[in-house]
Amino acid sequence: MSETKFSKDHEYIRIDGDVGTIGITDYAQSQLGDVVFVELPALGKTLAKGVEAAVVESVKAASEVYAPVSGTVTEVNKALEGAPATINDDPEGAGWFMKITLSNPSELSELMTEADYKSFVASL
């Protein structure tokens, strides 16, 4: 069973065992507008919680995607390179950015549940 957690920077991480799938939330993509480019991290890159993990560019702006937790990149969504608009169409599904192996699972407790995230977004 997977669990999804959210950051205040509008990233999500879907946890399945010790692997997390990371992307941006529907709210984030709606604020960006039409996504035209994505820069993904290299396989094997070690990410620390809160550091830049990827870059997404839209017709409005470029924005960093931060690692919601620490881990090592094990897979990237290469399909986004040829079809970055997938992030707009299905940000929390086919528009995922990367998968990481968690190095410090206790960091997950610092993230928000879906209900908490929805309340956070409503307050913006």
Res 1: pLDDT: 57
Q: Is residue 110 part of a domain?
A: no
Q: Is residue 92 part of a domain?
A: yes
φ, ψ of residue 123 to 5 degrees: the values are -85, -5
Q: Is residue 87 part of a domain?
A: yes
Q: Is residue 121 part of a domain?
A: no
Structurally, the chain folds into a number of domains equal to: 1
Q: Is residue 48 part of a domain?
A: yes
- Cβ–Cβ < 8 Å for 73, 45: yes
Q: Is residue 63 part of a domain?
A: yes
Q: Is residue 47 part of a domain?
A: yes
- Per-residue pLDDT in tens (0 to 9) along the chain, 124 residues: 579 999 999 999 999 999 999 999 999 999 999 999 999 999 999 999 999 999 999 998 899 999 999 999 999 999 999 999 999 999 999 999 999 999 999 999 999 999 999 999 999 9
* Residue 91 burial class via C-beta count within 10 angstroms: exposed 0-12, middle 13-18, buried 19 and up: buried
Q: Is residue 88 part of a domain?
A: yes
Q: Alpha carbon of 10 to those of 43, 82, 97, 116: distances in Å?
A: 23, 23, 13, 12
State the CATH number of the domain containing residue 49. Answer: 2.40.50.100
Q: Alpha carbon of 37 to those of 9, 22, 27, 69: distances in Å?
A: 19, 17, 18, 24
Tokens 């984030």: give the residue.
Answer: 28
The boundaries of the domain holding residue 87 are 3-104
Task: Tell me the helix, strand and coil percentages in the chain, rounded to 5.
Answer: 25, 40, 40
Res 79: pLDDT: 97
